[in-house]
Structure 1
């Protein structure tokens, strides 16, 4: 019976409203007090039923909830035959609960939107080579699936054949379609906008990146921050205190109506709902914009960060070294490049790949007698020539003469932050290449936005040489730069900052930097949704998009402010209501309940503003003005 009544709360609310309207029509339209009285009595009894059931359920677990206060107040008003107020108070309380639930559900729209985007079926290749539609739960790792134009990718996998453009907004928050071809990674829940592809399933069901995102955001929205836990504890003692206050007032004044009104006005409804709605809305905004915030605690800590430490490679830089500078010391450049490409294509070293990518398509020759010199480079024979490719130490080993121009070029390349690749043919220097990782586009502007949001210290740590790290720091305006840093050195550096009282966020790629991500107050992974990034960090910037970082920081600060605003609104309303009751004559139970429900709606709507949060344009203007000042100074 209790469950049935609670399931009909919305219907009871509507019936109560109709009965109250009918009651006032009977009194003022028909001048019939019987209709007026009995309509209000029925409305009071119907309305208090679900409230009393919730109060009883709370008392069973030894919690004096808001429902207990309202139930006692309504019963008291009913006993003193104030049917008008008992009916209106129950209606307002039920209607407020309805609005509260409805608006709170809207703040969870990001999750609902993600869940609705989850694929339900897939075209799976069966034994006869044909494709048939199956439930996505029936897809196993290794299955080959067909995805047509307009369809959702059902699992994480690799493209086996075909090509097309995929909208990855559900994963990255970025709506610009991404080109996919053979060998490309695709993710469940993304949409193939054009083309047809066949993919091999690698991760299915809840193990897909999309499934993990939904799970993480749901867990985050259900988690509680220190503020929420404090309010829970506060409400646990506050509600009985209001009950005691009402009893004391009755004891001294013998005014039952005044005591009952205190119970109604003291309801901490807005206080209880204000903080959770802010957190839920903030996390929902992040999910829709390619930022995973793993819980309310993360929001609280991230909003207080004053120092951000960055790994260099793959974070501030793209992570793909490229040939940035070159010098030739021979007229037979094309032939030398053919020899160089032939030797380097057999190596998996990042510098070798950069060289091969730079040279591009060319004639390749057979490579013989390859010798790898650890830490220096490689020596091989090509077309009867002795080819040496490596650093300065290898050139010295091979007795390659470095003339004055070559030595100046080497110093200049190193000062520019390059790793050097020298190529000698038969002990004669032919080519010098400077290879360096490229800084991500617009990172400088993003870092300025982070500074404008109140972060005082920006540091970069890297395993690269100090010169390279210093160059990146100078170009980006960072406060500290440290090279030759192994993972354990990075962790020790973060510990040192924390001992100095700084609140540290670490931004890394989520693989080599796992210890630092775990140790920092806030670990932020540039991860494209990888398993390691999602598991280790507190915040994940999907698709390794650095521009999401200022948005994430601004969002957490806005969410923290929003929580404080809601607390001030909630507490302020209660104090004003109680003061009005004690020091004025116009305040009564009905007005108090109306103001209470209005305050609940206000804090919910205030929290929902976070769903539309965007980093304000003033930060962009600040960057522009500062850049103009630098130009003028130069």
Structure 2
């Protein structure tokens, strides 16, 4: 019996039954009054003992909390024979505590969902046989079999098979993504169709899902500025209520009034108002693939008025492509000194220099040369990078292998230094300027000091960028800034297409850092959005550092203030709206809690509010605060799918799944500016 009463639910039920029995006895007549008093006192004792024990534990750490107020009030009421008040106060307080625990469990449900999405068993493939083993036994390089309806137990690469994977547990995206050999899969994602074999790269606590769970757990326990302030307020508020009760009791000569003040002054709703909202907000974000590092960062994100965005991979797809080839002299009334060559000739020599160079512009140039059938063959030549300007290479002539040529691929400024003709240098500069004004990165191509032409390479603007920027403005962001390592003309062209007023190009990482510091010094609350690696200094300097596409980077999950797990720019305004909603709920909860305590204290002092009535109203305010915070867990609004289209990811078509949502964008490529700026 005693072991049963140690459980909060059982104690609450026993106290409730005794109270009902006592009330029933009171209706049977005066002869039953003593038995009713005993039942009511027993109900009060059952509820008071654990409350008093908690108060004593707090006192050992020199903390005066709500439990002490209720314990004093209950014991005092029992001492003067107010059994009903003692039982009602402690029962309502215990009931409110159960509600609080349930609310916190509900607000942490996103974390529970994440933990539950990690499978406990895996099908291990070894020597052509399968064996079901606990996931704790898996090691890197093991191959596991995942069938439809099963969760992926590791982070790894698909080695055989195909299927559609629901990645919502990690990225928040409801649209399943197609998985074929060579694709990456993450622990906790569910295969909805097909069957795949996955070679493990990370297992156990090293998986991205495990890191996300750890980050959300830390974030929900972290305290923001408002919560810290409320904690400091509680340290003096509770002792002040005790002193007030003693003064009022001595002045009025009424112990009942003093005890009533203790009960009425309990700041229960105030204590829970902030943490329940913060935990709910962070949990809602985690469910939508938005990881917020803690309450402090959630509060700061709610104040953001300036958003700084890196261009490449954030506003653009990060996959540069060849857009145009302009042979030397093209468009002039007369040919240049060397005449206009063919586009294929310009592209062939550029590809000869770029292939095997490791230069960031190599891929789009070589890919375009392959598509035109002029790709280089044989052993690549020797290339030397010129940081921020281009490269030089010694390559063999495809038609005469014994002949070597010096090829220069780079900026118009580099070409001007190499060329002996002012006319040619002027043509290269004017053509480059024209292409840059159209948003492309111009690359001049020279062979043995001869100007062959200019190649235009451009990074495509993300399909979701215009909608995301529009939503940022609607979310209250007044200033949008784009920073880019690309040349200023290219940055300005992209900014003009997106309606961004403040665009800065030709920046090195330290220049981006200075730009963020400059904005903060001017009084702006800045959120910096980047890839979490190249933009690390600027991300660290911002009030809020936001890493996008963090599902592909465990580092971003660990270091950013907000990590958008999906490579989806529309999640950025969603995260800021969530932060603002959470801040609004916190303010509402504080107002509700303070107003309730104020009105009850006034009611006690002027008369009319009893101890039991006061506790009932107090616990009602706790319930209101909890319900208000739980609104944050409501499902986020779904946007039109055309506004949330991925750029390079492969998706299962809508008719292959019952859920339609945002898409998964693909991997980020190299920055055009990393080649020429």
Per the TM superposition, whether the score is higher than 0.5 is yes
Structure 1 residues 443-462: aligned runs within 5 Å: 443-462=465-484
- Map Cα deviations across residues 19-64 of structure 1 (whole Å, 9 max, x no partner): 1111222222566323322221221222211111112212222212
Looking at structure 1, the residues matched to 380 and 612 of structure 2 have their Cα atoms a distance apart, in angstroms, of 94
1:6, CA displacement in angstroms?
7.7
Alignment pair present for 1:463 and 2:485: yes
Of residues 561, 583, 593, the one that matches 1:538 is 561
Q: Tell me the alpha carbon deviations over residues 472-507 of structure 1, each in whole angstroms, 9 at most, x when there is no partner.
A: 222222232222211112222222222222222211
Distance 2:111 2:575 in 1: 18
- Tell me the distance in 2 between the aligned counterparts of 1:361 and 1:256: 92
Call closer, same or farther: CA 1:196–1:424 in 2, change over 3 Å.
Answer: farther
Identify the range of structure 1 (530-539 vs 369-378) with the bigger mean alpha-carbon deviation: 369-378
Question: Does residue 1:561 correspond to 2:584, yes or no?
Answer: yes
The 5-angstrom pairing of residues 269-284 of structure 1 reads: 269-284=268-283
SS in 1 for 2:569: coil
- Taking a change above 3 Å as real, the CA distance of residues 373 and 204 of structure 1, as seen in their structure-2 partners, is closer
Structure-2 residue corresponding to 1:420: 442
Paired residue for 2:360?
A: 350
Secondary structure in 1 matching 2:435: helix
Structure 2 distance, partners of 1:487, 1:6, is: 63
Task: Measure the CA separation in 2 of the matches of 1:288 and 1:276.
Answer: 18
CA contact (8 A) 1:281 1:608 kept: yes
- The answer on whether the counterparts of 2:419 and 2:451 sit within 8 Å (CA) in structure 1 is no
Aligned position for 1:390: 409
In the alignment, the residues of structure 1 paired with residue 369 and residue 628 of structure 2 have an alpha-carbon distance, to the nearest angstrom, of 57
Q: 2:255 matched to which residue of 1?
A: 256
Q: How does 1:459-608 map to 2 (within 5 A)?
A: 459-529=481-551, 530-585=553-608, 587-608=609-630
Aligned to 1:99: 99
Alignment-derived partner of residue 112 in structure 1: 112
Deviation at 1:467, TM superposition (A): 0.7
Stretch moving more, 56-65 or 355-364: 355-364
The answer to which structure has the higher helix fraction is 1
**Unmatched 5+ stretches in structure 2:** 331-339, 644-677
Moved more, 339-348 or 407-416: 339-348
| Partner in structure 1 of residue 665 of structure 2 | none
Aligned to 1:158, the other structure's residue is in SS state strand
SS in 2 for 1:532: helix
Instruction: Name the CA distance, whole Å, in 2 between partners of 1:164 and 1:506.
Output: 36
Q: TM-score, normalised by structure 1?
A: 0.89
* Structure 2 residue corresponding to 1:366, chosen from 365, 370, 377: 377
Structure 1 residue 451, shift from structure 2 partner: 2.0
| Larger RCO (CA within 8 A; separation ≥ 6) | 2
- CA deviation after TM superposition for structure 1 residue 568, in Å: 0.8
Instruction: After superposition, give the CA deviation of every residue in 1:201-233 in whole Å (9 maximum; x if it has no partner).
Output: 111111111100000000000111121112112
The alignment partner of 1:183 has SS state of coil
Aligned partner of residue 383 in structure 1, secondary structure = coil
Equivalent residue runs for 1:181-330 within 5 Å: 181-326=180-325
Whole-Å separation in 1 of the counterparts to 2:573 and 2:219: 20
Cα distance change of structure 1 residues 365 and 278 upon mapping to structure 2, 3 Å threshold:
closer
Query: What CA distance in whole angstroms lies between the structure 1 residues aligned with 2:521 and 2:454?
Result: 45
**More deviation, 244-253/398-407:** 398-407
CA distance in 2, matches of 1:198, 1:54: 53
- Once residues 481 and 5 of structure 1 are traced to their aligned partners in structure 2, the CA distance between those partners, rounded to angstroms, is 67
Name stretches of at least 5 consecutive residues in structure 1 with no aligned partner. Answer: 622-634
CA distance in 2, matches of 1:62, 1:192: 53
Alpha-carbon separation, structure 2, partners of 1:368 and 1:318 = 32
SS at 1:166 equivalent: strand
Evaluate the alpha carbon distance shift between residue 338 and residue 161 of structure 1 in structure 2; reply closer, same or farther with a 3 A threshold.
Answer: farther
Q: Is the 8 A contact 2:419 2:450 kept in 1?
A: no
Q: Counterparts of 2:255 and 2:439 in 1: how far apart (Å)?
A: 81
* Structure 2 CA distance for partners of 1:603 and 1:202, relative to 1, 3 Å: same
Q: 1:164 to 1:326 in 2, by over 3 A?
A: farther
Structure 1 residue 259: Cα displacement: 1.0
Q: CA separation of 1:403/1:246 partners in 2, compared to 1, >3 Å: closer, same or farther? A: closer
Structure 1 distance, partners of 2:87, 2:200, is 60
**Cα contact 2:64–2:238 (8 A) shared by 1:** yes
Between 1:363-372 and 1:432-441, the stretch displaced more is 363-372
**Residues 59 and 404 of structure 1, relative CA distance in 2, 3 Å threshold:** closer
